[in-house]
Copies of this chain bind each other. A is one copy, B any other.
Amino acid sequence: MKQGEQTKLSIIKAANKLFYQQGFHKTAFSDIVKEVGLSKGNITYHFKSKDDILTAVIEHRVERTKQILTTWDQDYANADTRLLCFIDSLIDGKSALTRYGCPNGTLASELGKSNELTRQLSHRVFDLIRQWLSTQFLALGYSSEQANDRALDLFTRGQGICVLAQVYNDEDIFELQVNHLKALVSEKINS
């Protein structure tokens, strides 16, 4: 990897962390500069504006999400195992999810209010996950329409749990509610 690409990546990672932990608007350009540990001029060389960094961060999240979903596809043969894997990943991340909410959900909530472009970008991460969930339910024997419903339902509840857990800053609520989601996966078809 070329030197510049390396730097670009470290900028994206630093910004990604800050946008998640502080929100986009709360995060100043200088915060990113400080977090990366390079000069201001260096950052603006690689990204001419804060919005450019945001776009790159979302692109990065899209790629990272694709990567994770692909890994699960490769590592697990059964759809129900994969779905449980998705749910377990929520529990694994409960500390951050409870503290800062869902990275994609909170960013979309913040940006969706005023910025149509970034709403659409966030939208892409959501589509990836929804699509993947739907595919798993399809493999479990649900009809196409039912699978979409299940996926949307599971996703919706996951987002809701993140919001509630963050508001109450309560990991127990988070874990308890997420465990309820497991029932959705193992439920009998056509219930």
Interface residues, chain A, with chain B CB atoms under 8 Å away: 21-23, 25-26, 100-101, 105-106, 108-110, 112-114, 119, 122-123, 126, 152-153, 155-161, 163-164, 166-169, 173, 177, 180
For A113, list chain B residues within 8 Å (CB). Answer: 21-23, 26, 100-101, 106
Distance in angstroms between the alpha carbons of A173 and B164 in the assembled complex: 21
Q: Copy number of this protein in the oligomer?
A: 2
Distance in angstroms between the alpha carbons of A23 and B27 in the assembled complex: 14
Extra contacts, 16 of them, besides A155-B164, A158-B160, A159-B159 (Cβ < 8 A), are A23-B110, A23-B114, A100-B113, A105-B167, A106-B110, A106-B113, A112-B166, A112-B167, A112-B169, A123-B168, A153-B177, A155-B160, A156-B157, A156-B160, A156-B163, A160-B161
Given contacts A109-B106, A109-B110, A113-B23, contact A126 B156 (CB under 8 A): no
Determine chain A's interface SS by DSSP, over half rule. helix
Distance in angstroms between the alpha carbons of A100 and B108 in the assembled complex: 10
Residue from the list B126, B157, B169 in contact with A167, Cβ < 8 A: B126
Decide: B23 and A167 in contact? CB cutoff 8 A: no
Residue from the list B23, B25, B109 in contact with A163, Cβ < 8 A: B109
Distance in angstroms between the alpha carbons of A6 and B168 in the assembled complex: 33
Q: Which residue of B is nearest A156, CB measured?
A: B160
Residue from the list B26, B119, B166, B180 in contact with A169, Cβ < 8 A: B119
For A152, list chain B residues within 8 Å (CB). Answer: 164, 173, 177
Distance in angstroms between the alpha carbons of A122 and B112 in the assembled complex: 20
